[in-house]
Amino acid sequence: MFIVQNYALAVVFCVLTMLCWGSWANARKLAPAGWRFELFYWDYALGVLLISFLFGITLGNTGHVGRPFFADLHQASASSLGHALFGGVVFNLANILLVAAIEVAGMAVAFPVGIGLALVLGVILNYIAVPVGNPELLALGVALVTLAIVLDAIAYRRQAKSAVRMSIKGLLLSLACGIFMGVFYRFVAASMYPNPTHPLPGLMGSYAAVFVFAVGVFLSSFLWNTIAMRWPVMGDPVPFSHYWHGRFNTHLAGLLGGAVWGIGMSLNIIASGRAGFAISYGLGQGATLIAALWGVFVWREFKNPARGVTALLTLMFVCFIAGLGVIVLSRTIG
């Protein structure tokens, strides 16, 4: 299978992860305005599954290092399969909670609380399990990226025509999202052998692990997304029959969104063999700021910035770039 043996290439893969994770939601804009997110999510989950399988049968069977994709799946232990599968279940719950938190409390609460907590918790858990990199620099980099997320949220709040009111429900949803989003990656990592060039019995390589993770995402959608459709945090319940009313291009938008996110996940896990799980996860969660770039420069969400917003956005991007640089540096010094 194809593996990354150069740290510079691993960083490139992590940056591509940020681009994918920060861009997949743009596919939502390709669907009709009345197409509910819960309906979009079915195609999104299927897109994640299909692209992970495509990675497995192509790059997962390339070269002579490591185990081929299907052989890797065949020899995987029940424990290894269970860890990756459960990682998909946990991620799916976190992702749906994030959407719910945004609906209830807005980005100004959901992102700094949810994604900020996920970033810190995910890096800590993965570093404790596999301590790769300089811990002081890694902590500083995570702090700078977290600060950038907070500044981004403040800018959105100031730009809003009406202030987003804090609610206990929105805060709890954001906290729950952050906890689950912070721990899912560790389950996937626990299913893998740490050195991609030395396969261990029972454990999986990156391609098999991501595919099993994607199976967990898809299957758990029948639980989490069904709950979201029947008891949405906002709006009326959505009958499943409405899914079949969507046109081909509408479903294609969801598949595209899932494929883009899945590409990011695959590249991130592939890069983790050289960069380490903590650094890969930390860089990947900088995706929030990629989403901000889309909002600022493409969707023109700050076309007529309120007072102080331009300064906040500038400081946000400075903290973001500095934080990413420090995280990358932590591997070379550690």
Distance CA 175, CA 30 (A): 30
Question: pLDDT tier at 111 (50, 70, 90 boundaries)?
Answer: confident
Q: What is the distance in angstroms between the CA of the first residue and the CA of the last residue of the chain? A: 28
In order of 106, 111, 156, 158, 301, the CA distances from 162 in angstroms are 11, 18, 11, 9, 15
Give 78's contacts (C-beta < 8 A, 6+ positions apart).
Answer: none
Residue 183 pLDDT > 70: yes
Q: Report which residue type is found at 266.
A: S
CB 211 within 8 A of CB 73: yes
Question: pLDDT tier at 78 (50, 70, 90 boundaries)?
Answer: very high
Phi, psi of 192 (to 5 degrees): -110, 150
Per residue in 297-306, pLDDT (tens digit) is: 777 767 778 8
- C-alpha 243: how far from chain center: 25
Following DSSP, what letter does each residue of 112-180 receive, concatenated?
Answer: IIIIHHHHHHHHHHHHHHS--S-HHHHHHHHHHHHHHHHHHHHHHHHHSSSPPPP-HHHHHHHHHHHHH
Q: What is the DSSP letter of 35?
A: S
**Lowest mean pLDDT across 18-32, 177-191, 216-230:** 18-32
Closest residue by Cα to residue 207 from 4, 14, 41: 4
Closest residue by Cα to residue 326 from 286, 273, 271: 286
Q: What percent of the chain has pLDDT over 70?
A: 96
* Tokens representing residue 255 in the block: 């598949």
Give 311's contacts (C-beta < 8 A, 6+ positions apart).
Answer: none
- C-alpha 198: how far from chain center: 27
State the pTM of this model: 0.91
**Lowest mean pLDDT across 3-7, 149-153, 261-265, 323-327:** 149-153
Following DSSP, what letter does each residue of 177-209 receive, concatenated?
Answer: HHHHHHHHHHHHHHTB-SSTTS--TT-B-HHHH
Mean pLDDT across the chain: 91
Following DSSP, what letter does each residue of 199-266 receive, concatenated?
Answer: --TT-B-HHHHHHHHHHHHHHHHHHHHHHHHHS-SSS----GGGGGGS-HHHHHHHHHHHHHHHHHHH
Closest residue by Cα to residue 322 from 155, 156, 143: 143
* Tokens representing residue 74 in the block: 């065949």
Per residue in 36-47, pLDDT (tens digit) is: 999 999 999 999
Residue 294 pLDDT > 60: yes
Distance CA 243, CA 62 (A): 37
- C-alpha 58: how far from chain center: 23
Distance CA 206, CA 196 (A): 8
